[in-house]
Structure 1
Amino acid sequence: MDSLIIAAARALAAGDLLGALKRVALRDDAPALALRGITMARLGDFARAKDLLRRAGRAFGPREAVARARCVVAEAEIALVSRDLSFPAKALAAARAALDAHGDALNAAHAGCLEIRRLLLIGHLDEAERMLAKLDPTPFPPALRVGHELVVAGIAMRRLRTKPAREALARAGVAARRAGIAALAAEVDITARLLTTPAARLIARGSERPLLLDDVEALMGSKALVVDACRYVVRNSSTTISLTRRPVLFSLARALGEAWPQDVSRGTLIARAFRGKHADESHRARLRVEIGRLRRALRPLADLRATPEGFVLAPRGRREVVVLAQPVEEEHAAVLAFLSDGEAWSSSALSLALGASQRTVQRALDTLAATGKVQSVGRARARRWMTPPIPGFTTTLLLPAPLPSG
């Protein structure tokens, strides 16, 4: 490796981006292309950075497997930062395996952290936890340790384990200060603020109030019967009944939970569950069928009792009944939740993260853009969507898969 490449790499490591570019800007050999790509990524020109890294990967010869794998990892990191979740996971896994096979343990671990962070964004927590358990962070340098601890904190927050999350964020803060990288310290601070931002709303006995993540964790461990409108389940501290694939039953359960200890009229239940303005005999017959199904589904936790006007939820064991709802509820709240992390998302990445079709996501984005709640930059495949963070609204901590329609 020649002296200019070494000097550019040292300037890049020291944060002198322009100094690094000055040394390799007119060169098209593989190491120079890779350094230019990384520099452009740090300057925020992700499209140019990806192009340069791809060219560098092709320019490295077949015997330079480590260099080519490092280019793939750098490109994957750019894709993650720019929320391009369509980056092939198999390519990143292959690069990690190549780095590990050639003894580049640190870059292999970095690739593993990127894989885990991608899994977190698309909601695959079990797989993310399995991968995380295989990583030993002991030899990690401070910068890589920050990424590892952020992954640990992210999983803990999504699992509603706030104490481990705080501990991981504290370790991440220490590592960020040791690394001396301002961007890493800022990312730790942004993540830590999620613990002091309302993550949900509690609806009980006709009133509601915001809950922090600590409060949600305490609620899940309490004796209350929780109708969870964040994950579409009904649960107590020991039993969980999922209604994710039964939207009508969940609508009925939520209406009964919000009204508890009072009953809910048949007309109101029909309007909530079937969206019918006028209840006719067919609606009333369908309501009887759905109430029967809900009664069977909730039998381990509660009973549904008929009243002269409608039905009332009767929890077993004299429990309180509460409803846990998202902090902001509107037709496209799930899309807004992902965009509120302040990053720029492609519609394809949102589609993957939400588990919805790209056309459905695009219609939601167009609707939100018409009301000024989101904005786009770029065109065609380079188009990205973003919005300023919504005050008092966490990003994806409590987001489930979308509730099926019908």
Structure 2
Amino acid sequence: MDSLITAAARALAAGDPLAALKRVALRDDAPALALRGIAMAQLGDLARAKVLLRRAARAFGPREAVARARCVVAEAEIALVSRDLGWPARALDAARAILLAHGDHVNAAQARHIEARRLLLIGRLDAAEERLGEPAPLPLPPALLAAREMVLAGIALRRLRTGPARAALERAGQAARDADIPALTAEVAAAASVLHRPAARLIAGGQARPLLLAAVEAVLASDALVVDACRHVVRDAGVVVSLATRPVLFALARALAEAWPGDVSRDRLVRLAFGAKVADESHRARLRVEIGRLRAALRAQATLRATSQGFALAPRRASEVVVLARPVEEAHAGVLAFLADGEAWSSSALALALGTSQRTVQRALDELAAAGKAQAFGHGRARRWVTPPVPGFTTTLLLPGPLPGG
């Protein structure tokens, strides 16, 4: 490798893409194309970066399998950043196998971390943790160590384990400072800020107050009966009843929990559950059926007591009843939670991450765009969606992945 290529590679490792381009911008040999691609990716021109890396992979000869594998790893990271979650994972696995076979353990670890980040994005937390748990070279370079700790922090946050998340973010911050890459340091600081922003609202006794993630974790570990409007479950003492596929039952449970220890009138329950402006006998009959179903679903946690006006919730074991709600009640909150990371998402990537159909996601995006909460750029398969994050709030509880006890 000649001196210009070596100098450009060192500049990229230090997070200085402009210095790298000064050395290889006019060259079209395979190593220069690869370094130019990585530099363009660091500068944010992901489309140009992808083209350059593919040219580099083709330009490397048949005996340069390691160099081609490194290009694949770089392209996989670009796909991740551009939220192309449908990028073929098999290509990354094959590249990692080649790197391991040739003793390039650092780039193999990079490939493993990219796959773990993808799994984290789509809510496969156990798989992401398993991927990170595979043997890795020690010590890792500081930048790679920071990336690893960021994934561990992300897994802990999605599981609402704020202690391990804070520890991982502190380790990531130290590694980023050791790497001396300003963009990486800023990324870690942005991730750490999640711990200091409201993540949910606690509704109890007719009052609502914001909660940080640590407080949410404490509420879920308490002896209260929690009607969790972030995951649409009812939980107490480690028992979790999911009502995610039964929206009428959850609406009734939430209304009764918000009124506890009081009751809720039948007319109000009809309006909340069925959207009827005026309750007639057919609505009241339907309400009795749904209340019976809710009694059966929550029989281990609470009873539903009929009153002269309506119904009241009475916990069996819990000392109190609370509602855990999103910081901002918003239609299509799951879509907004992903868009709020600041990256540009395709509708297909959002569908994969949310575990739903692309058509459903597209309808949600169209409604958000009509309301001015999301905007698109590009056309066809290159169409991407973005939105500014909601100031002062974290979106952790809106993303897929089980909470404790789920």
**Aligned counterparts of 1:398 and 1:41: Cα–Cα separation in 2:** 29
Match of 2:103 in 1: 103
> How far is 1:24 from its partner?
2.7
**Structure 1 pair 313–73 and aligned structure 2 pair: CA distance change class (3 A):** same
Match of 1:81 in 2: 81
**Aligned counterparts of 2:137 and 2:276: Cα–Cα separation in 1:** 56
> How far is 1:143 from its partner?
0.3
**For residue 131 of structure 2, what is the amino acid of its counterpart?**
M
Residues 286-338 of structure 1: CA deviation (Å, up to 9, x unaligned): 22222112111111111111112221111012520001011111212222222
Q: How does 1:277-316 map to 2 (within 5 A)?
A: 277-316=277-316
For 1:134, what is the secondary structure of its paired residue?
Answer: coil
Match of 2:164 in 1: 164
Residues 230 and 400, structure 1, Cα contact 8 Å, conserved in 2: no
**Aligned counterparts of 2:64 and 2:288: Cα–Cα separation in 1:** 69
**Aligned counterparts of 1:11 and 1:48: Cα–Cα separation in 2:** 19
Mean Cα deviation higher: 33-42 or 22-31: 22-31
Runs of 4+ in 1 over 4 A off after TM superposition: none
**Structure 1 pair 186–232 and aligned structure 2 pair: CA distance change class (3 A):** same
Mean Cα deviation higher: 29-38 or 370-379: 370-379
Mean Cα deviation higher: 260-269 or 128-137: 128-137
**Structure 1 pair 237–97 and aligned structure 2 pair: CA distance change class (3 A):** farther
Match of 1:344 in 2: 344
**For residue 177 of structure 1, what is the amino acid of its counterpart?**
R
**Structure 1 pair 49–118 and aligned structure 2 pair: CA distance change class (3 A):** same
Match of 2:199 in 1: 199
**Aligned counterparts of 1:167 and 1:8: Cα–Cα separation in 2:** 34
**Structure 1 pair 146–87 and aligned structure 2 pair: CA distance change class (3 A):** same
**Aligned counterparts of 1:254 and 1:352: Cα–Cα separation in 2:** 29
Q: Is the counterpart of residue 18 in structure 1 residue 34 in structure 2? A: no
Match of 1:39 in 2: 39
TM-score by length of 2: 0.93
**Structure 1 pair 24–194 and aligned structure 2 pair: CA distance change class (3 A):** same
> Could you list the runs of 5+ residues in structure 1 that have no partner in the other structure?
402-406
**Aligned counterparts of 1:375 and 1:13: Cα–Cα separation in 2:** 34
Q: How does 1:214-253 map to 2 (within 5 A)?
A: 214-253=214-253
Match of 2:319 in 1: 319
Residues 33 and 56, structure 1, Cα contact 8 Å, conserved in 2: yes
Match of 2:188 in 1: 188
> How far is 1:114 from its partner?
1.0
> How far is 1:378 from its partner?
3.0
**Structure 1 pair 296–344 and aligned structure 2 pair: CA distance change class (3 A):** same
Residues 202 and 209, structure 2, Cα contact 8 Å, conserved in 1: yes
Residue identity (%): 73
**Structure 1 pair 238–176 and aligned structure 2 pair: CA distance change class (3 A):** same
Residues 12-36 of structure 1: CA deviation (Å, up to 9, x unaligned): 3344433422333333332222111
> How far is 1:8 from its partner?
2.8
**For residue 128 of structure 2, what is the amino acid of its counterpart?**
A
Residues 31-50 of structure 1: CA deviation (Å, up to 9, x unaligned): 22211110110111000101
Match of 1:404 in 2: none
Residues 200 and 327, structure 1, Cα contact 8 Å, conserved in 2: yes
Residues 137 and 145, structure 1, Cα contact 8 Å, conserved in 2: no
**Aligned counterparts of 2:303 and 2:246: Cα–Cα separation in 1:** 18
**Aligned counterparts of 1:137 and 1:289: Cα–Cα separation in 2:** 60
